[in-house]
Chain A
Amino acid sequence: MTMAKGSGDTSDLTELARRITALAGSGEQVEVYAARGRSTTVRAYEGEVESFKRGTSQGLGVRLVANGRQGFASAGTLDPDVAVETLAEARENASLAEPDEFVGLSEPDGVVAPDLVLLDPELHQLTDDQRVSYGLAVERAVLGRDPRVTGVRAAAFSDGWGEAAIVSTQGVDIWSDGGSCSVSVSPLAVDGDETQIGFAVDAARQPAALDIEAVGLEAIERAVEMIGAVKPESARLTAVLDKRVVASFMDIVAGTLSGDRVSRGRSPFAERLHETIGVPGLSLIDDGTDPESLSADVHDGEGLATRRNVLVDDGRLAMFLYHSASARRAATRSTGSALRGARSTPGVGVHSLSILPGDTGFDDLVSGVGEGVFIQRVNGLHSGVNSISGDLSVGVQGRMIRGGALAEPIREATIATTLQRLLLGINRIGSDVERLPGGTQSVSMSVDEISLSGT
């Protein structure tokens, strides 16, 4: 377990979790997840504080397994009396589930947790005045630089920390904490009767690491570059995908590699283990231990150590991700991939995804395509991707590529393919590797046989 203290006394969470766990009856497995967090958000508008929001939240989740049946109950408080009632509710809920031989809690597996410091002491020294000044600064960072930028839809600074303890009758007893802060801004750019919204965000473990000026410039660029965008003609062509778009798509791909989905027949890659599912050079790694990633974790949601999992290795599907129950179902071991909050049972997911870079610079990606499209933003991911059939169709904004160079901006268009074809259709992988604010490390790439729908 981590001993990265920094948020004051942590023993009360662990104490509460231990006390409730000790109430397990004979033959019962009990796991208690106790968490608390505090967050502050300052929104700026027209040079003033539009809103200042602060809150402390608490959460308690109790999972109980008896006779192969699992029940769960949660509460938005750490009140000890409520905690006892929550255990009783979990017990009642378990009695209503049907037995499942694979259900159950995690068993400590001896994997050593990474030594990560996820809470920077500087975060705790932030004053409210500083928070306000960061919030005002990020709005200021987009004003007065381009005559077309008339104001913002939103400009905000947020910071927060959280801590969590997990204790179980199976020997799990861990505690960890973490914190981060972020600035974001969405400026409005107006030209005639056309308005475009830009957006940029930066996140870090301490405020000094936030690059507010860069956020401002990026947000402005993203707003003004879309001015005059036109609806393109429908065509099948090669697309260069911006690294943010690649990150969105690869997150979805990684989601389909959940062992839970695989064992329930809900993944398009279920039967493909050790087979080639992508082009040579495509490697996807989920590494929750990466200290550079804001989404790194010391433990997973069942208290097991996070680890480095190579999902796709040079185009070959190398493994699926598992939490304890899905691992038992597949007769394998947990990969430390349980994700959860206090209020829900663990699911299987990615901690921090990396797409390994290739050797083509961005400009060469574009010139190599010749005639095609550069996709900068996608929307409608939740409605346009079917992660079971693999069908993918999303709204896009970007630029046409003509004569090997970026040309006119486009809007009101979609691109479509399938997840399966996407991975095999990758033409070149960019060398422009970047850690995105969400934690994903991504690169741009060009992909063949993409259907662009417009007029």
Chain B
Amino acid sequence: MIEQDVLERILAGAVSGGADFAEVYAEDKRSTSAGLDDGRVEQVTSGRDRGAGIRVVAGETTGFAYTSDLSEPGLAAAASAASAAASQGGGGVRKVLLTASAPHRPNSVEQDPDTVAKAAKVELLNRMNEAARSYGPEIVQVSAGYGDSRKKVLIANTDGVLTDDEVVRTLLRISAVADGDTGMQTGYQSMGHTIGFEVFNTVDVEELAREAARQAITKLKARPAPSGAMPVVIKHGTGGVLFHEACGHGLEADLIAKGASVYAGKVGEQVASPLVTLVDDGTMPGEWGTLGFDDEGHITQRNVLIEDGVLSDYMWDFLRARKEDRPQSGNGRRQSYQHLPMVRMTNTFVLDGPDDADDIVASTPNGVYVAKLGGGSVNTATGDFVFGMTEAYLIEDGKITEPLRDGNLIGNGPKVLQDIDMLANDFTMGSPGTCGKDGQGVPVGDGQPTLRVKSLTIGGTSS
């Protein structure tokens, strides 16, 4: 994308005004998507993006400028804008020598989506549409989407770091609408991986579609969700968002540093039930939040955040780690070259516990069983968080009974972590997610075994 000697000159120029750090992040991204709705493939689209963001740090101030012009003059202009913003005057000549990092490719892509005919991608949508509609006459509408992308990233900085990475993503989603006496209901399924088109050799796309249809039809019989606090059992592979919101964001070092997290100053303390070990791991092959290097050129790694309930560490990016004089953790991420990096999660999950999933339900006299969760959000200062349930059932006398209408659950992170009183041994990863923070969205993964929270508030209407 950019020659090494050009990068070295641009970086040297960027710090010539006296800044203490400069970085070039360049990307070249191609994407394809296709959408089916109302029974037909309505649209196939493609997009391309190329550009660089240049960051210059002087003391506590960061200057940043981005450009879609990757020529040396284009980069130099962006570098000059970034360094003007960060400059403290003074300066001098500083030579920058880059050393290329050894490749780190957690994902092995066998079939680059670029080499696959678009017709084959469109065909997946038709198969899903067919499978969902033939699941039951109640299904009145189906929409489905396919997307793939390939992003090449080049990162260089004045510490001598030079990394390149390539991330391929393949995504499929389907939404089904069922109509019945009580109105319309919806079902949704998605799958996404950081590998190529070979994913469809193992994923049963018809099954994904039938699952969305089953969910929608099941909810036609749903009764209003209860209102108030009660035990909640969350099915494996669906509840990772709970940890993402209940504590993931609160363990990001930038929020800790500003005193905007309930977990500030709690390292070494028991912050969760002893059952809970929480890990953020950017190296899991094929998962949605997996990267070779983070978006600051730091190699991704497996970080244990909570071990047996004890808070062991936060997640770090370059600026926060530098300030605390400690290593980065591979959690500096950004949405694109037009954005500044900050501390973000990758794949965040809870490890297996000792219990059997069936026993968890059986030992819950009354409560709610959540089989599928939607998104969530958190106020990191108070720890209060909400997340949606899109498929849920009552638990009565230790048995899963009637389906419930959609609603939000609300809880307080630190309290919910302590209230996890059963954890099964059936860990699976969940579906692909997009995590939003300060206006930037990045792909993340999550996972967890079936678990029970002693008390969560269900935001339904039935008393």
Q: Is B195 an interface residue (CB 8 A)?
A: no
Residue from the list A49, A231, A386, A395 in contact with B406, Cβ < 8 A? A386
Return the chain A residue nearest B380 by Cβ.
A197
Residue from the list A96, A151, A343, A451 in contact with B259, Cβ < 8 A? A151
Of B10-18, B307-315, B369-377, the stretch lying at the interface with chain A is B369-377
Q: Is A114 an interface residue (CB 8 A)?
A: no
A391 with B406: CB separation less than 8 A: yes
Contacts of A92 in B (CB 8 A): 118
Majority SS at the chain A contact face:
strand
0/1 string, B100-143, CB within 8 A of A gives 1: 00000000000000000011001000000000000000001100
CA distance A195 to B457 in the complex (A): 22
B65 with A153: CB separation less than 8 A: no
Contacts of B381 in A (CB 8 A): 153, 188, 195-197
Q: How large is the interface on A (under 10, 10 to 19, 20 to 34, 35 or more residues)?
A: 35 or more
Residue from the list B64, B260, B388, B461 in contact with A54, Cβ < 8 A? B64
0/1 string, B217-242, CB within 8 A of A gives 1: 00100000101110000000000000
Contacts of A335 in B (CB 8 A): none
CA distance A150 to B229 in the complex (A): 33
0/1 string, A91-107, CB within 8 A of B gives 1: 01110111110010000
Given A394-B386, A411-B384, A51 and B63 touching (CB < 8 A)? Answer: yes
A268 with B379: CB separation less than 8 A: no
A73 with B177: CB separation less than 8 A: no
Q: Is A275 an interface residue (CB 8 A)?
A: no
Given A93-B44, A265-B140, A383-B386, A414 and B379 touching (CB < 8 A)? Answer: no
Residue among A73, A152, A393 with max Cβ neighbours from chain B (10 Å): A393
A103 with B457: CB separation less than 8 A: no
Q: Is B463 an interface residue (CB 8 A)?
A: yes
Residue among B37, B179, B184 with max Cβ neighbours from chain A (10 Å): B184
B388 with A380: CB separation less than 8 A: yes
Q: Is B285 an interface residue (CB 8 A)?
A: no
Taking the nearest CB of chain B, how far is it from the CB of A276, in angstroms? Answer: 18
Q: Is A77 an interface residue (CB 8 A)?
A: yes
B259 with A57: CB separation less than 8 A: no
CA distance A77 to B376 in the complex (A): 34
Given A265-B141, A416-B459, A453-B458, A383 and B63 touching (CB < 8 A)? Answer: no
Taking the nearest CB of chain A, how far is it from the CB of B393, in angstroms? Answer: 16
CA distance A173 to B229 in the complex (A): 58
| CB-defined A-B contacts under 8 Å, sample of 27 | A49-B61, A50-B62, A51-B64, A54-B85, A55-B53, A56-B67, A71-B43, A72-B43, A74-B48, A93-B46, A97-B43, A151-B258, A153-B258, A197-B381, A197-B382, A234-B228, A264-B37, A264-B141, A389-B185, A394-B386, A412-B457, A416-B408, A417-B461, A451-B227, A451-B459, A451-B463, A452-B227
Closest 3 pairs (CB-CB, A-B): A414-B459, A383-B388, A380-B386
Contact residues of A with B, CB < 8 Å? 45-46, 48-58, 70-77, 82, 86, 89, 92-94, 96-100, 103, 128, 150-154, 188, 190, 194-197, 226, 231, 234, 236, 264-266, 268, 343, 345, 379-380, 382-384, 386, 388-391, 393-395, 411-417, 451-455
Q: Beyond the given A50-B62, A54-B66, A77-B50, could you list 9 further A-B residue pairs with CB under 8 A, ordered by the A residue number? A: A74-B45, A96-B122, A153-B260, A153-B381, A188-B258, A234-B463, A383-B377, A389-B406, A453-B457
